[in-house]
Amino acid sequence: MNLDNLVMTTRIRLARNLAHIPFACHDRKIFKRIADSITRNRPDLNAFNINELPIRDSLFEQHLISADFLQHAKTGVLVTNHDNTINIMIGEEDHLRIQAITNCYELGRTYQTAKTIADQLEKDFEIAKDPQLGYLTKCPTNLGGGLRASVMIYLPALTITKKIADVFQELDNQKITIRGVYGENSDASGCIYQISNQNCINMSDNAIINMIHRVVSRLATTELNLEHELWQKSPDKIIDKVMRAWGILTNAHLLSSDEVVEQLVWIKLGIGFKILNFRNNRIIDDLFFITKPNTIITNFHLQNATQLQRDKKRAEEVREKLLIFRIK
């Protein structure tokens, strides 16, 4: 099964805490010592004090750091690489949240990236661990391996037909959480959902990854079958929706971030039905996030711009990217 147009990212997060230090630690000296150790072993990574990082709100919009980390910005340290596929939040809810992100469906490889960093840290520091409970974490649901395996998946047909509610109910009984893009209490903007394990207790890392894989595969099968049914029922209506979205996004003089998301849903659906073709379909996934308000402000230095000016720049950016990458 080809999941390229459905799965947007695979994310592995490992929670770790230093032994003999309270969970509610906000000591930047300790966090800096951890960051220095990581960057010494990995010269491809760089450390930043999060409160001194002008792009921190943009990083949150792009789903690279958490809301909780922003709340601890005064003491938090971010360790990251140039393409943001590794983001280590030091001083979030736990002392360390090691994140590896892949822009495709790749649970195994992404897990190995995060685990390699975690294993090295365990050589350099004494990590809080219990023989029975596993890694000790602030939230009891993370006890054990401290692992959250998460897949960001695009489910338009399930959303449009409102059958996503049945999915929510079914997964809630299977140790699986389904949320919006920005985690708990966020909406599923753009028909995009996060699928992740609810807890780590009494589960090995392999068991969690295999569970997520089974759920994602089943969800993808259901989604693709439903998309096929919608196409069989009314292809002309779908083509019309897709081409209207194309017309808006490539001709509008002003675009809000909400309107971009609303129309990109149909562009992605058009790719799935081969109504539209692009040299690199990932550009559509990128547009969901790089057109967010703070990211537009940061990327184009629009701190003093009006809303109208930002909407104009957003429309220009979307139009340029779509026209460059489309294959006619």
What pLDDT sits at residue 63?
A: 84
Q: How many domains does the chain have?
A: 2
pLDDT given at position 200: 85
* 14, 112: one domain: yes
**239 and 222 in a common domain:** no
d(C-alpha 94, C-alpha 145), whole Å: 13
Q: Does 241 share its domain with 208?
A: no
For the chain, where are the E strands, in sequence order?
Answer: 7-16, 46-49, 77-80, 86-90, 96-102, 129-130, 134-135, 147-154, 176-179, 192-197, 277-278, 326-327
Quick one: 180 and 265 in the same domain? Answer: no
Give DSSP secondary structure letters for 36-93.
HHHHHH-TT-EEEEGGG-TTHHHHHHTTSS-HHHHHTTTT-EEEE-TTSSEEEEESSS
- At which of 226, 246, 265 does a domain end? 226
**Angle (nearest 5°) at CA 288 between 283 and 291:** 100
d(CA 319, CA 247): 10
**pLDDT at res. 199:** 85
Tell me the mean pLDDT in the region 134-158. Answer: 92
Residue 2 lies in a domain: no
Domain boundary among 226, 244, 265: 226
Instruction: Look at residue 226 and tell me whether its pLDDT is greater than 90.
Output: yes
Q: Specify if 1 maps to a domain.
A: no
pLDDT for the residue 2: 67
pLDDT of residue 169: 80
Instruction: Give the mean pLDDT of the chain.
Output: 91
Q: Is 312 helix (H, G, I), strand (E, B) or coil?
A: helix
Q: Which whole number is the average pLDDT over 99-104?
A: 94
Say what the pLDDT of residue 181 is. Answer: 65
Do residues 176 and 203 touch, judged by C-beta distance below 8 A?
Answer: no
In a domain, 62, yes or no: yes
Using DSSP's 3-state secondary structure scheme, residue 16 falls into strand
Range of the domain at 51: 7-226
| HSE value, Cβ hemisphere, 13 Å, CA-based, for 249 | 29
Say if residue 146 is in the same domain as residue 63.
yes
Q: What mean pLDDT do residues 50-63 have?
A: 89
At residue 3, the pLDDT reads: 81
The DSSP code for 23 is: T
Q: How far is CA 144 from the centre of its chain?
A: 23
Contacts of 164 (CB under 8 A, 6+ apart): 155, 158, 188, 193
CB 292 within 8 A of CB 284: no
115 and 62 share a domain?
yes
Cα angle 28, 29, 34 (rounded to 5 degrees) comes to 90
Query: Same domain, yes or no, for 123 and 271?
Result: no
pTM score of the predicted model: 0.90
Residues 167, 139 within the same domain? yes
**Based on the domain organization, do 44 and 118 belong to the same domain?**
yes
The CATH number that applies at residue 72 is 3.30.590.10
Q: In angstroms, rounded to a whole number, what is the distance separating the alpha carbons of residues 226 and 272?
A: 12
Same domain, 212 and 291: no
Residue type, 108: G
Q: What is the pLDDT of residues 267-316, one digit of tens each?
A: 999 999 999 999 988 899 999 989 999 999 999 999 999 999 999 999 99
Domain final residue pick, 198, 226, 254? 226
Tokens of 121: 């840290």
Between 143 and 97, where is the model more confident?
A: 97
Per-residue pLDDT at 45? 95
